[in-house]
Structure 1
Amino acid sequence: MNTRGGNNGNRNNRKPSFSKGGSYDKNKQDGKSSASKYNKPFKKDDKPFKKWDKPAKTEKPAAVKDDTIRLNKYISNSGVCSRRDADLYIQSGNVTVNGEVVTEMGYKVKPNDRVVFDGVLLNPEKKVYVLLNKPKGFSTADDENVSSAYDLIRNASTSVLKPVGRMDKSTIGLLLFTNDNEMIQKFTNAAQHSSKLYQVSLDKNLKYEDLEKIQTGVYINEHKVWVEEVSYVENQPKSEVGIKVKTSNVKVVRAVFEKLGYNVIKLDRVMFAGLTKWGIARGQWRFLTEQEVINLKNLK
């Protein structure tokens, strides 16, 4: 009796065998040894696949630096007007490049091209205007023994910025830096009429009669210092005084009080040509807005 059950002893009922490669081997099924290539034992030195050679890395050609700039942007960077207005001037034939009138929109120029806008030769460097709330201990003077105020705004621009006017290390408050030489000349000119407001801290209370003398004008080196306004600071001791003048020289402000026998402990410029310290912490700076720049240029 077949105790293993079924038809296991029946050769015809055996499951078909498969080669190692997964293919059905008919020759083996028939009891013959296979000469098929599929039945060859695998050897380590067999190389059924061709080695893939990585293609040599080709160097990309160096990118050619394009140093050209659109004409309207060139004009805008010079600070004379906006790009939109520059397009109008270009279309009207008021712009020349290297002596030739250009009216083409999108025309590009190189940095060394000579661009004349409405009869004025332009400087392509973009104008930068930085307002600093200068702390004590920094000066605009070129003195190796004193920290430079320029160091506080050095990272504001790749252009070299210059201060508008001078400020010693003891004076604090608003100081404008720019690469706009025309604006520097404008606000350092003695005939400039923009107002500067200072808060002055004195070593003693300012007498009312001395306050009136300052209002009418004090002579410094035989020159009368005109004061727009002077008053005590509200809710402060009488040693705290606000004074508004047009001069850009802060030394003159000190000299006014020293002339009357007072020592200036602190001098803080809190307003300059309509610009205030609002939102600028001591030692910090910000860029002027486009409207603020326009306002400065319109001041007489």
Structure 2
Amino acid sequence: MSENRERLQKVIANSGFTSRRKAEELIQDGQVKVNGKVVTELGTKVGPNEKVVVNGIPIEKEEPVYHLLYKPRGVISSVEDDKGRKTVTDFFPQVTQRIYPVGRLDYDTSGLIILTNDGEFAQSLMHPKHGIDKVYVAKLKGIPTKEELHELKKGIEVDGEFLKAVHTKILSTDRKKGTAIVQMILHEGKNRQIRRMFEAMGYPVSKLKRERYAFLTTQGLQPGESRELTPYEVKMLKKAASENVN
């Protein structure tokens, strides 16, 4: 009977070392060895008894863990930061596994972010074709019209990049202060996407929060607090990612 062989990037991702996409970059950059030899082919498959080393660190499969963090503003959505700023992993000193964030929230954006060592799980949630709702609430300087919000749903080009919202809605306005609270739903998560979209229309974002990720909310959590996802929540997220293929 032949041994169960899997793609090298999947093995690295499942070890909790990094995401599958980053694992592919590491392979192509020649930073991965299999049985002592550098491997750069993404199609390479390895068996359970082969020795995989990434950046000099042997890969071992970890038990998958899943955490939900209410990220405060002023925190980097990364495992580490070369400028010494606080990162999302700093909130998990008790976690021994090598967890990393699923996607990202900008430095000045607060709200929900998932951290895990399950690469396949992370990849399925991040891919926009799976249609996972990410619900944001933004405070704007200025009050956009319904027509302008509709333009964001159709999509606009900003700095040569096409940016699109799934849904937009004005929650409240303050005519005296000239501000508005707007809800926006995304399926993708491009760099500073919401801020760039509103700024392109002349409405700078003064505050931004991700209030919901799929069915997960900030209920019961304060900024900086976290909890483990329940097995049922993990199961439902995987189900949502597999069913919602646009």
Deviation at 1:285, TM superposition (A): 0.4
Distance verdict in 2 for CA 1:221–1:130, change over 3 Å: same
Distance verdict in 2 for CA 1:192–1:220, change over 3 Å: farther
- The residue identity in structure 1 corresponding to 2:107 is K
The two structures, once aligned, show a CA RMSD in angstroms of: 2.4
Given the alignment of the two structures, is residue 131 of structure 1 paired with residue 72 of structure 2, yes or no? no
Report what 2:187 is aligned to.
246
Q: Matches of 2:118 and 2:232 in 1, distance apart?
A: 16
- The residue identity in structure 2 corresponding to 1:215 is K
- The residue identity in structure 1 corresponding to 2:200 is K
- The residue identity in structure 2 corresponding to 1:271 is R
Maintained 8 Å contact 2:153/2:166: yes
Give 4+ residue runs of structure 1 displaced > 6 Å after superposition: none
Q: How does 1:30-179 map to 2 (within 5 A)?
A: 124-141=61-78, 142-155=81-94, 157-179=95-117
List gaps (5 residues or longer) in structure 1. 1-77, 79-112, 115-122
- Richer in strand (by share): 2
**Which region of structure 1 is more displaced relative to structure 2, 243-252 or 177-186?**
243-252
SS in 1 for 2:130: coil
SS in 1 for 2:129: coil
Bigger CA radius of gyration: 1
Could you report, residue by residue, the CA deviation over 1:109-153 in whole angstroms, capped at 9, with x for unpaired residues?
Answer: xxxx75xxxxxxxx7521110000011111124232421121012
The size of the alignment, in residue pairs, is: 181
List gaps (5 residues or longer) in structure 2. 1-13, 15-47, 50-59
- Normalising by the residue count of structure 1, what TM-score does the alignment of the two structures yield? 0.55
Maintained 8 Å contact 1:133/1:285: yes
Deviation at 1:264, TM superposition (A): 0.9
SS in 1 for 2:110: strand
Equivalent of residue 295 in structure 1, options 229, 236, 243: 236
Could you report, residue by residue, the CA deviation over 1:94-121 in whole angstroms, capped at 9, with x for unpaired residues?
Answer: xxxxxxxxxxxxxxxxxxx75xxxxxxx
Distance verdict in 2 for CA 1:249–1:272, change over 3 Å: farther
Deviation at 1:293, TM superposition (A): 0.3
Could you report, residue by residue, the CA deviation over 1:181-225 in whole angstroms, capped at 9, with x for unpaired residues?
Answer: 111222233433211000001122223332222232222344433
Given the alignment of the two structures, is residue 280 of structure 1 paired with residue 221 of structure 2, yes or no? yes
- The residue identity in structure 2 corresponding to 1:243 is M
